[in-house]
Amino acid sequence: MPFVKALIILFLLIIIGSLGTALVYLVKDRTRSPRTVKALTVRIGLSIGLFIILLLAYRLGLLHPHGLPTGRTPPPAENKGQSDGLRQPP
In a domain, 90, yes or no: no
Looking at the domain assignment, is residue 13 inside a domain? Answer: yes
Residue 85 within a domain: no
Domain count along the chain: 1
What predicted TM-score, i.e. pTM, was given to this entire model?
0.67
Pair 39, 18: CB distance under 8 Å: yes
- Give the mean pLDDT of the chain: 83
- Give me the domain span that covers residue 12: 2-59
> Of 60, 48, 37, 41, whose CA–CA distance to 11 is shortest?
48
Question: What are the pLDDT digits (tens) for 47-83?
Answer: 999 999 999 999 998 888 777 666 666 666 665 555 5
